[in-house]
Amino acid sequence: MIFDVSEATFEQDVIERSRTLPVVVDFWAEWCAPCRQLGPLLEDATRAREGKVALAKLDTDANPAISQAFGIQGIPAVKAFRDGRVVEEFVGAQPRPQVERFFDALVPSEADQLVASGDEASLRRALELAPSRTDAIVPLARMLHERGEDEEASELLARVPRDFAASGLAARIGLERAGTPDLTEAFAALDAGDHERALDLLIGAMPGSDGARDDIRKVVVGLLDQLGVENELAREGRRKLAAALY
């Protein structure tokens, strides 16, 4: 979708449209030679992603108020809008590869879309396209673990050994295989979404866990990573974990 936009239509055609579709705005002018060089590249990139991104062309001479509002000091200037705000931009004519990378950053890849779907078939297809995508490996491994297919789950998790969530799940599988009975209640709480109780039980089991201590720590760290840095429960969990370790 390629169209001209003006001050009168900018709010509706760019700001509002960007809430459902990324909109790239080309700030240009008739007298600007670099604009004439860049324009066709922007149009080609838009057509190649038909239905996934829109290109709005704004004549800065005819629409000075919009140009001033967005601080346009040199043209061509290109700004990408998503959810009503500028998310990417550049100034000056750029070569085709750079323009393509700019558009690629705005439009989800096939693997991105598959991961977002979240079902098993989509996650498996995403891993065919990108075998080391953690955001596909971990949820797929969780599905496999839930139905007892731990061998395949472990093979997947081994692809991303430095990821906290993956390491945590791999450690849990190892602990369950070893038949550590003291953790049954903790894992049940984890599966039920009772993260506070799961953390308390896991951390509480560490002092007497002997050889399983490091694997329990990995499970805890994986859960804390899942909760996020700013989560209050995660902050308290990190404090309790540090106390248990040191």
pLDDT on residue 55: 94
Identify the CA nearest to 135 among candidates 110, 166, 104.
166
Q: Give the tens place of pLDDT for each residue, 117-149.
A: 999 999 999 999 889 999 999 999 999 999 999
pLDDT on residue 73: 87
Bridge pairing between strands 23-28 and 54-59: parallel
Helix locations, the chain, DSSP H:
10, 33-48, 64-69, 96-106, 110-117, 120-129, 134-146, 150-157, 164-177, 184-191, 195-205, 213-227, 232-245
CATH of 2-106, one of 3.40.30.10, 3.90.1300.10, 3.40.50.720, 3.30.420.40: 3.40.30.10
> What is the DSSP secondary structure assignment for residue 181, as one 8-state letter?
G
Catalytic residue numbers, as ranges: 32, 35
Domain locations in the chain as residue ranges: 2-106, 110-245
pLDDT on residue 13: 92
31 φ, ψ (degrees, to nearest 5): -75, -10
Mean pLDDT of the chain: 91
Q: Is the peptide bond before 64 cis (omega within 30 degrees of 0)?
A: no
Q: Residue 90 in contact with residue 112, Cβ under 8 Å?
A: no
How is domain 110-245 classified at the architecture level of CATH? Answer: Alpha Horseshoe (1.25)
Q: Give the tens place of pLDDT for each residue, 64-121.
A: 998 888 888 889 999 999 888 898 899 999 999 999 889 888 887 788 889 989 999 9
